[in-house]
Chains A and B, each alone.
Chain A
């Protein structure tokens, strides 16, 4: 199967003042992928998304969507891209019916049936004013508007922010339906790692504007490990090895968080001569927390090129 890049950025960089918000970002999202774009607040996710959409000018570097430079997107190409902004902004004075008619006017292609289906499913009346909708209903309306033109690429900026658990599940269900339509590519940012694990094939993690992780979702989760070492006496201080993200000492115990646990690391750990080594698996949320709260500048880079093949792993210390 030949894969085409639907999103491709090259050394994309943005400063706000002297602060580098996005740093030489090389992001590639292939056709059909569901890409979870992660990072802590202020890591540069929204700025990146805004640069992809041409709403923020990069200082340097390039971004391409569907094979065309963002600054020179043809209107026909722009129609194939949907964007859902953070917080689901809508014209509050319109009714549901009005916003559907209004938005429709901008597109040559419009799936009326799909919009009706979504609105009916969530029992949204066409006569209701947008200002009276709950956060969850707003999310559903903006999703309906986004998918109606049958876009090939959907970019969603934290679409489940502020939604309660049930509404979030509804939203994810709608998203899964969209994924079922073959060939659709989705990039979404989120802070809810359980949701990301459900829907994302691949994740990227931005830390201080640098894309430090870019690999299949399961692969990242599986490669961050916590090791609990027991010592007969006090645990040693100042342990160092490649891929070490974090460590804590408590009495005779030493806890290490390692990325890409391998034989070299195992040998390094064993040379401390602990009485016992327990390797603890982490779920995606735990792995994300452990990884992103590590010593930021020295975080190990972690990426795989292209396929989901675990053996094509390529990583090195930053």
Chain B
């Protein structure tokens, strides 16, 4: 995956990196177990201070998107299961409500919204169905 860094953006560089990793994972460009470039590598590639890259990685690790394996590198972690399904459902529900609010205000019908959701689902890398949970 190709990372970018834009200093004219109003988003700080470390935040840009976090967003790119999150999007990369969601869209399947980065898969569970994929290795990310080291802090040094990415710092050199993007010409940014290594501390900025390290900050992005640390944050991504804290939220469970990445995992560091001592001496081996930084990898994409499996989706988080530390929260209960109920808690995760609640978090997602809140986000969905925001989407609905937006859709209503933009004058979409329920069917149109449903069609758009259906249309986009294929662009993202969802977790495969598990037998029981």
Residues of A within 8 A of B (CB): 34, 169, 172-173, 176-177, 179-180, 193-195, 197-201, 218, 221-222, 280-286
0/1 interface trace, chain B 1-13, chain A, CB 8 Å (1 if under) = 0000101111111
B103 is an interface residue with CB less than 8 A from chain A: no
Minimum CB–CB distance for A79 against chain B, Å: 26
Contacts A198-B49, A200-B49 given: A218-B44 contact, CB under 8 Å? no
A residues less than 8 Å from B32 (CB atoms): none
- Identify the closest chain B residue to A172 (Cβ): B47
User: In the complex, A280 Cα to B11 Cα: how many Å?
Assistant: 11
Contact B10 A283 (CB under 8 A): yes
Task: Establish whether residues B7 and A197, one from each chain, have CB atoms under 8 Å apart when the complex forms.
Answer: yes
- Tell me the count of chain B residues lying within 8 A, CB to CB, of chain A: 19
Chain B, residues 28-40, CB within 8 Å of chain A (1/0): the string is 0000000000001
User: Given the complex, which residues of A lie within 8 Å of B12, measured CB to CB?
Assistant: 218, 221-222
Cβ contacts under 8 Å, B24 to chain A: none
Apart from A179-B50, A281-B10: 12 A-B pairs, beta carbons within 8 A = A172-B47, A177-B44, A179-B49, A180-B44, A193-B7, A194-B7, A194-B8, A197-B7, A198-B5, A218-B14, A221-B12, A284-B7
The closest CB in chain A to the CB of B46 belongs to A198
Q: Contacts of A173 on B, CB cut-off 8 Å?
A: 44, 47
Distance in angstroms from B6 CB to nearest chain A CB is 9
A-B contacts, 22 of them at CB < 8 A, read A172-B47, A176-B44, A176-B49, A179-B43, A179-B49, A180-B40, A180-B50, A193-B7, A198-B5, A198-B7, A198-B13, A198-B46, A199-B48, A199-B49, A201-B49, A218-B14, A221-B12, A222-B12, A280-B10, A283-B8, A283-B10, A284-B7
In the bound assembly, the distance between CA atoms of A169 and B4 in angstroms comes to 15
B44 surroundings in chain A (CB, below 8 A): 173, 176-177, 180
Of the candidates A34, A172, A179, the one having the most CB atoms from chain B within 10 angstroms of its own CB is A179
Closest A residue to B49 by beta carbon equals A199
Name the B residues within 8 Å of A201 (CB-CB). 49, 51
Q: How far is the CB of A107 from chain B (nearest CB, A)?
A: 27
Docked CA distance A222–B10 (Å): 9
Complex contacts, A285 vs chain B, CB 8 Å: 7-8
Contacts of B47 in A (CB 8 A): 169, 172-173, 176, 198-199
Q: How far is the CB of B58 from chain A (nearest CB, A)?
A: 12
Complex CA distance for A241 and B49, rounded to whole angstroms? 36
For B8, list chain A residues within 8 Å (CB).
194, 283, 285
In this complex, what residue of B is CB-closest to A218? Answer: B12
Measured in the bound complex, the distance between the Cα atoms of B13 and A201 in whole Å is: 12
Q: Which residue of A lies closest to B13 (CB)?
A: A197
Q: Could you tell me the distance in whole angstroms from the C-beta of B85 to the nearest C-beta in chain A?
A: 33
The 0/1 profile, CB within 8 Å of A marked 1, for residues 51-74 of chain B is: 110000000000000000000000
Contact A198:B51 (CB < 8 A) given known A221-B12, A282-B10, A283-B10: no
Say yes or no: B43 contacts A176, CB within 8 Å: yes
Least distance between A5 CB and chain B CB atoms (Å) = 19
